Amino acid sequence: MINLETPRKFKTFVGQAHQVAAEFLRPNSRKYDSAEHAYPKELDLLASLVDGMDDSGNSQGAGATGVRRTDNGDDGVRNGTNMSSVLSVMEMCWGDVGLLLSMPRQGLGNSAIASVASDEQLARFDGVWAAMAITEPGCGSDSAAITATAELDGDEYVLNGEKIFVTSGDRADAVVVWATLDRTKGRAAIKSFVVMKDTPGIRVERLEHKLGIRGSDTATIILDNCRVPAENLLGSPEIDTERGFGGVMQTFDNTRPLVAGMAVGCARASLEATRDLLQEAGIEIDYDRPAQRQSAAAAAYLAMEADWEAAYLLTLQAAWMADNGKPNSLQASMAKAKAGRSANDITLRCVELAGTLGYGERELLEKWSRDSKILDIFEGTQQVQQLIVARRLLDLSSAELK
């Protein structure tokens, strides 16, 4: 039976994550928003602490490396690393989304490795900071349309293509690159490869200037006859047209709840700050009276809180299902769609409710509204999530419902 209360064994850990967000991330939030592309040096100490917790076994799945699906067997209900990672991400993004995305060795590429790598690969890439490169100039949310190629040549794959919007693409040690082994085989031929950044043939072409998450670097990467060892392919090298895209897509089933958690954390920060400003202005939010009998600002706030609660619970459900070995593709997409859109709506509405304080830089509300937009876009746009949900509910294939 699912229980969406914070598990007792995680409460201390969640408190520690909140403390990190309050003392490390939020105090540096404005600094690195203004100094785009500057490396947040303060994160090195924090990353070392997280690494130490991982090595000691006390991390409870801190950060992105904690999302590995395992067989639950007959051990009953469990709250494992997917749940703890989501709870951690929520607290950290209450501090700052861009800085959380800049955490060394906690990139989305690390999530991909944790999700589908073999035990040998997990050991070999332990301690590597990995970005993830999927999007291309002609391929956005439709990951099946990837044109970057990987051709087997002896015991190496030769990769060619261009990847854009690669989070931590400049700072990371490696990039998990999605490429096709055979364009004629469609989705089934798409595989992911761990490409170390010092490999000849891979280069960072440019860094993007962005609306939000400016503390995080976002790169364009070129692969030009980049030779990668065959053992760096994640998952099976076989092209299984029956199973299709399942292997690499399992990554999304684990990382989409994480992105939903980022959105939940950012939205909560906006709600808390807005509530404080409303109370300072003498506006009372009364949970014992119907919304229609309160001020317009209080009614709007109550509606936003309800929206946030729905996103929060959907996110926990998706993480819980992953921990308990249950297929969660539908729930992961529902959580990502709801949380991404709700966070964007809530943060913008909070700017409105706060008036001039919301629009200026004295408060972080305007920054959170900018940061929240990407959470409705990356890891699959709002529209793609709705399409996935529709396919699952109607039991239709991608060919039948486009």
- The pLDDT score that the predictor gives to residue 62 is 42
Q: Is 156 a catalytic residue?
A: no
- The pLDDT score that the predictor gives to residue 76 is 65
Q: Are residues 250 and 227 in the same domain?
A: no
What CATH number has the domain bearing residue 210? Answer: 2.40.110.10
Residue that terminates a domain, selected from 95, 124, 153: 124
Q: Are residues 139 and 120 in the same domain?
A: no
- The pLDDT score that the predictor gives to residue 145 is 85
Task: Tell me whether residue 267 is in a domain.
Answer: yes
Q: Give CA–CA dist 288/90, Å, rounded.
A: 28
Query: What is the count of structural domains for the chain?
Result: 3
Q: Are residues 317 and 347 in the same domain?
A: yes
Provide block-wise average pLDDT over 10 residues at a time, the chain (402 residues): 81 92 96 96 84 56 48 64 91 96 87 86 94 91 85 98 97 96 88 96 98 97 98 88 58 87 98 97 95 96 97 96 91 97 98 96 97 94 94 92 88
- The pLDDT score that the predictor gives to residue 6 is 84
Percent helix, percent strand, percent coil in the chain, to nearest 5:
50, 15, 35
Answer yes or no: are the C-beta atoms of 141 and 77 closer than 8 Å: no
Task: Tell me whether residue 399 is in a domain.
Answer: no
State how beta strands 174-180 and 130-133 pair. parallel
Answer yes or no: are the C-beta atoms of 151 and 182 closer than 8 Å: no
Answer yes or no: are the C-beta atoms of 82 and 64 closer than 8 Å: no
Domain that holds residue 307: 246-394
Answer yes or no: are the C-beta atoms of 159 and 228 closer than 8 Å: yes
Task: Tell me whether residue 400 is in a domain.
Answer: no
Q: Are residues 218 and 135 in the same domain?
A: yes
Q: Please name the helix (run of DSSP H) or strand (run of DSSP E) that holds residue 370, with its range, or none.
A: helix 365-374
Q: Which residues contact 346 (CB under 8 A, 6 or more apart)?
A: 267, 270, 271, 304, 307, 308, 372
Closest CA to 103 of 133, 66, 64: 64
Burial class (CB in 10 A: 0-12, 13-18, 19+), 306: exposed
- The pLDDT score that the predictor gives to residue 303 is 97
- The pLDDT score that the predictor gives to residue 22 is 96
- The pLDDT score that the predictor gives to residue 179 is 96
Q: Which of 91, 363, 366, 379 is catalytic?
A: 379
SS3 62: coil
SS3 19: helix
Burial class (CB in 10 A: 0-12, 13-18, 19+), 15: exposed
Task: Evaluate the CA torsion angle 261, 267, 270, 275 in order and state its sign.
Answer: negative
Task: Tell me whether residue 111 is in a domain.
Answer: yes
- The pLDDT score that the predictor gives to residue 53 is 58
Residue 126, CA distances (Å) to 51, 57, 106, 108, 345 in order: 10, 14, 11, 14, 38
Provide DSSP, 185-223: GGGGGEEEEEEETTSTTEEEEEE---SS-TTS-EEEEEE
Task: Tell me whether residue 402 is in a domain.
Answer: no
Residue that terminates a domain, selected from 177, 211, 234: 234
Q: Are residues 69 and 143 in the same domain?
A: no
What CATH number has the domain bearing residue 316? Answer: 1.20.140.10
Residue that terminates a domain, selected from 101, 124, 147: 124
